[in-house]
Amino acid sequence: MTDAHDVLALNGSRASYSADLDPDELAFQRRYGPWDSWTPEEAKPVFDPTGLTWWIAGGWSIEAFTGVPRQHEDIDVSMWRRDVPALVKALSGRYDVWAAGGGLTPLFDDKLEMPDTADQVWIRRHALAPWRADCVVNRHRDGRWVSRRDPDLEVSLEEVTWERDGIRYLNPEITLSFKAKLHRPKDDQDLAAALPLLDEDARAYLADFLARKEPDHPWRSQV
């Protein structure tokens, strides 16, 4: 009798799901596969050689800004949506790229276009390997970054990112504007870590964003 978390046996060895996964995460991994995500430092030698523009969003961008470490289930690598076909070609033979959104769709040399329902791509070495990166693909207007949460915000990428050690990160106030919609415990922790460090302009942007897009959000009393 096999354990409920067993996923497969290969060449005499057994790969298992972690016994401490909560039910929702276990159900996700049994359907789509496990994650073993890169750190920003591990992502850099994969994405830099592609020659494409990329940056880090999500929890890693908050940790880089605050210096406060926390656990990360994945890594949010952002890039331009227009660059997905070039990414697939650049990683061909080393990593498989799948469009994520409304299901998972493999992107191969003969099928490179993103489905309209997909706003992310996931990356792994092969079907038996864990997913290593979740890439959020951003649309643009004439080369300018456009926020999916705040479509009126249209600026150069340099205005909404900052760089350290050769890695570009999304500004913390922008990351928090995305996290406000999800409002998970880890998002509250990220707000608590980042808010005291925001400058006046960043704090004003976040306050204005919440007033316009999330008027009933509990963060409004803190910002």
Which tens digit of pLDDT belongs to each residue from 33-69?
899 999 999 999 999 999 999 999 999 999 999 999 9
Does residue 14 sit in the same domain as residue 75? no
pLDDT of residue 112: 83
Specify the pTM: 0.88
Which residues are registered as beta bridge partners of 212? none
User: Is residue 17 domain-resident?
Assistant: yes
Does residue 26 sit in the same domain as residue 45? no
User: Is residue 200 domain-resident?
Assistant: no
Residue 129 DSSP code? S
Kindly state the tokens that stand for 117. 């329902």
User: Is residue 202 domain-resident?
Assistant: no
Domain range for residue 17?
A: 1-34
Does residue 142 sit in the same domain as residue 123? yes
Choose the final residue of a domain: 129, 151, 170.
170
Does residue 153 sit in the same domain as residue 89? yes
- Taking Cα atoms as reference points, which of 13, 123, 35 lies closest to residue 77? 123
User: Is residue 89 domain-resident?
Assistant: yes
Does residue 56 sit in the same domain as residue 7? no
H or E stretch covering 10: strand 6-10
Does residue 26 sit in the same domain as residue 54? no
Helices (H) and strands (E) in the chain, counts: 8, 13
Q: How far apart are CA 172 and CA 120, in angstroms?
A: 20
Does residue 29 sit in the same domain as residue 87? no
Which tens digit of pLDDT belongs to each residue from 153-191?
999 999 999 999 999 999 999 999 999 999 999 999 999
Does residue 56 sit in the same domain as residue 138? yes
Which tens digit of pLDDT belongs to each residue from 81-108?
999 999 999 999 999 999 999 889 999 8
Q: Which residue has the tokens 């060449």?
A: 11
The whole-chain average pLDDT of the chain stands at 90
| Residue pair 170/160 in contact by the 8 Å Cβ criterion | yes
pLDDT of residue 189: 97
Q: How far apart are CA 63 and CA 172, in angstroms?
A: 9
| Residue pair 174/190 in contact by the 8 Å Cβ criterion | no
Kindly state the tokens that stand for 76. 């949010």
Counting the structural domains of the chain, the total is 2
Which tens digit of pLDDT belongs to each residue from 7-17?
443 444 445 67
